[in-house]
Chain A
Amino acid sequence: MESTSRTLEVTVISGENLRTDRKPVKKNAFVTIQTDSNKVCTTKMDADGGSYPSWNEKLVVDVPMHARFVTVEVQCKTSTGNKTVGVARIPISDFVGGHVPQSYLHFLSYRLRDYKGERNGIINISVKAKVPEYASCSSGTGMGMGVPLADNNFGGVVTGIPVWCTGAYAGKF
């Protein structure tokens, strides 16, 4: 299992300015986290946070090594069932790889998109990758990095891709 997936500790912190059909979410917001696998992690419901809910809940998420995105979905419970407020598709590269230590605690925020692809509020999370024992030992010996060369190549810009709800979501609407 260790060689085929990595374990993430994702703390779902809060949401900002959440709306459904342009009206502020009144209550009962919750968050699900999903990867390529069928497993879904879900937070508790924030019964009274309204459009600025606060969960501060840690979820342990297993992510396949080949996965390139983690999908975070904010939903709210209504009298007619669960309703999707917004979705954020988070690149794994935002918190894995790069130049920071593997076990670095990342604080990340993302714009949510509703089912039409329109901007809809912000989700705030923190992510920490669990490092296997042997890896943390070897990373310890890697200390002593020098100051890097001045680098004019700051990398290309990734084109933003709006999230279109297809497949599994289509049936909900």
Chain B
Amino acid sequence: MGNCCSDEAGGRTAVGGTAASMGNPTNFPNDAVGHFLKSRGHAPFSEIELSYSASDLRDRDVLSKSDPMVIVYTKGRDGVLEELGRTEVVLNSLNPKWITKHTITYQFHIVQTLVFRVYDVDTQFHNVDVKMLKLEEQQFLGEGSGVLSQIVTKSDRSLILDLVHREESTGSNRARNLGKLTVHAEECISSKTTTEMIFRCSDLESRDLFSRSGPFLVISKVVESGIQIPVCKTEVIKGDLKPTWKPVFLNIQQVGSKDNPLVIECFNFNSSGKHDLIGEVRKSLADLEKLHSSGQGENLFLPTPVGHNYQNKVLKSQLFVDKFSLSTKHSFLDYLAGGCELNFMVAIDFTASNGNPRLPDSLHYIDHSGRLNAYQRAIVEVGEVLQFYDSDKRFPAWGFGARPIDGPVSHCFNLNGSSHHSEVEGIQGIMMAYTSALLNVSLAGPTLFGPVISNAALIASHSLANSGRKYFVLLIITDGVVTDLQETKDALVKASDLPLSILIVGVGGADFKEMEILDADKGERLESSTGRVASRDIVQFVPFRDVQSGEISVVQALLAELPLQFLTYMRTRDIQPIS
């Protein structure tokens, strides 16, 4: 539910509300099957503050130095620039340090390209609001661009850009130094501040007169339109009219600010899913802190229909805040600045079900006009994001399900054709190794995931002896139904104890039902043949459809959980960002 959950597995099995499901284990609500480790974290959501300085700007004025200003743009995938903001004008300086800062939301799953343009503002405009300035009336000093993930992965969180002429400028061929722009990124403290609260209720009333309450709380934030968006919920406590729930955690960024109103609703759990509202309270985080300090309770109220309106009936029941504490946890960006890396690995399905690569209807068909096939698009779209988090950009790349020349079918062969190492240089290296492999192997079968997962797990295991600051991401691109489902589960269960996440992209039109089983979001926790259970969810599956309907892209769905999986791993092992 939302981005935050209680410390315990949320939404316990049905208790209290109705007795009908007590003896019916198949009727558990999905909420009841929660991962305890999953509940320890909440999805990273970071605002970043950008600040700027420059050096060695060109001297444009005859009688004085330049008066520079920076304009910041975000560049969309279509290349369109959207202005993010402008700095103030620094008078008479070739090495300015601007005061103005701009805030941008960090989105892990997107390559966020920023463009910076520096202008010398003419003296006659010095008293004009910078928003009113017309850029064609100013002197262009230079342009720089960079990717946000390049900035946040540097230890000092700064990126130095060479200022150049615009591409369309007539002086583009000259190798003149236009100066340097330094962009510094700092994560807003509110993005990292978490409140821990313990709620207690007294004298709860249940409208279900014949059963005792199984109460739980839902905390929602109220957006401008008045809609309530759930951000947090507690576990269900059976048969208690004075429940004390386990701690809940809220990131301040999730609720907007400490003063934004929250709705805290107390429900009586019902396995049908239609929970009875016992009562509610409307308070901000600041109000809850005051309640905690004073030790007082707040009466719940129940909206009661009166004619065409609602009237709030004050109840005898009360809500108490037994604990309220603020803490700053290490964020995903803290780990990146501390030198942790995400290392990208890729494994490609070379089974015969893809079709003959020489035929246009094959999923592996290489179109010489340059149009990418589904495998190539998946590699590029995932790789172009993840490459920024790997310092050496050497990626292990495997194929599976093919017969090399003079050999038996291999379920994990090096894409580069080498027999002793699997790494290639950059995303382009993966693409070249892929097209080269297509010419040198015969598609075969069956489809096995176990060997490539075990190989990735081996690399992850060995990295632990070095520094433990690497987290591995294996991308598996496949067209078909896996043959070794149980062996794959076994490998995934073992890998769940290692710094490894696995992304599975399904291409083509096959039935991907078994992939949904591996993605624990949509299924139960994976269990190996020996009874060992995955200690955390490391698999994400997304079908790669040619038509991308809606605004959420395939890559977003695939990568959205990765920072949380990373954080869950790091925090449970108490690995600190700074070594």
B533 and A109 contact, CB distance less than 8 A: yes
**B458 adjacent to A101 (CB under 8 Å):** no
Q: Which residues of B contact A52 (CB under 8 A)?
A: 8-9, 12, 235
Cβ of A170 within 8 Å of any chain B Cβ, yes or no, is no
Q: Are A100 and B498 in contact (CB under 8 A)?
A: yes
Instruction: Please tell me if B364 contacts chain A, counting CB pairs below 8 Å.
Output: no
Residue on A with the closest CB to B573? Answer: A105
Query: Are the CB atoms of B497 and A110 closer together than 8 Å?
Result: no
**Closest Cβ neighbor of A113 among chain B residues:** B531
Asked whether A41 is an interface residue with its Cβ less than 8 Å from the other chain, the reply is no
Neighbouring A residues of B491 by C-beta, 8 Å: 154
Q: Does A107 contact B (CB under 8 A)?
A: yes
CA distance A105 to B571 in the complex (A): 12
| CB–CB B413/A155 < 8 A | no
A88 within 8 A of B: yes
- Chain B positions 22-36 with a Cβ under 8 Å from a chain A Cβ: 22-23, 25, 32-33, 36
A99 in contact with B8 (CB, 8 Å)? no
Known contacts A24-B13, A50-B238, A52-B12; decide if A152 and B410 are in contact (CB<8 Å): yes
A111–B462 touching, CB < 8 Å: no
Residue B325 lies at the interface, judged by CB distance under 8 Å to chain A: no
Q: Which of A133-173 contact B (CB under 8 A)?
A: 139, 142-145, 147-152, 154-155, 157-161
> Does B341 sit within 8 A of A, measured CB to CB?
no
A106 within 8 A of B: yes
Residue of B nearest to A123 (CB): B533
A99 touches B462 (CB 8 A): yes
Contact B459 A147 (CB under 8 A): yes
A-B contact count (CB 8 A): 129
Shortest CB–CB separation between residue B39 and chain A, in angstroms?
A: 10
Q: How far is the CA of A122 from the CA of B451 in the complex (A)?
A: 27
Q: Check A16 for interface membership: any CB of B closer than 8 A.
A: yes
Q: How many residues of A contact B (CB 8 A)?
A: 50
- Size bracket of the B interface: 35 or more
Select from chain B the residue with minimum beta-carbon distance to A89: B531
B238 surroundings in chain A (CB, below 8 A): 26, 50
**B379 located at the interface, meaning its Cβ lies under 8 Å from any Cβ of chain A in the complex:** no
Question: B-facing mask of A83-104, CB < 8 A → 1, else 0?
Answer: 0000010010010001111001
Nearest to A27 among chain B residues (CB) is B238
CB of A116 within 8 Å of the partner chain: no
Most B C-beta atoms less than 10 A away, residue of A16, A50, A54, A98: A16
**Pair A111/B527 contact, Cβ less than 8 Å:** yes
Instruction: Using A108-B532, A145-B462 as known contacts, say yes or no to A154 and B420 having CB atoms under 8 A apart.
Output: no
- Contact partner of A50 among B12, B413, B422, B451, CB < 8 A? B12
B531 engages A143 (CB within 8 Å): no
Find the B residue at minimum CB distance from A148: B458
Tell me if B49 is interfacial: C-beta within 8 Å of chain A. Answer: no
CB of A68, distance to nearest CB on chain B (Å): 13
A-B contact pairs, 24 of them (CB 8 A): A13-B36, A22-B25, A24-B13, A54-B8, A88-B531, A94-B532, A100-B465, A101-B464, A107-B37, A107-B536, A111-B533, A124-B37, A144-B466, A145-B462, A147-B396, A147-B459, A147-B462, A148-B458, A150-B420, A152-B412, A154-B451, A155-B454, A157-B490, A161-B530
Task: Write the residues of chain B forming the contact surface with A, with a CB cutoff of 8 angstroms.
Answer: 8-9, 12-13, 15, 22-23, 25, 32-33, 36-37, 235, 238, 246, 396, 398, 410-414, 419-423, 450-451, 454-455, 458-459, 461-462, 464-466, 486-487, 490-491, 496-498, 525, 527-536, 572-574
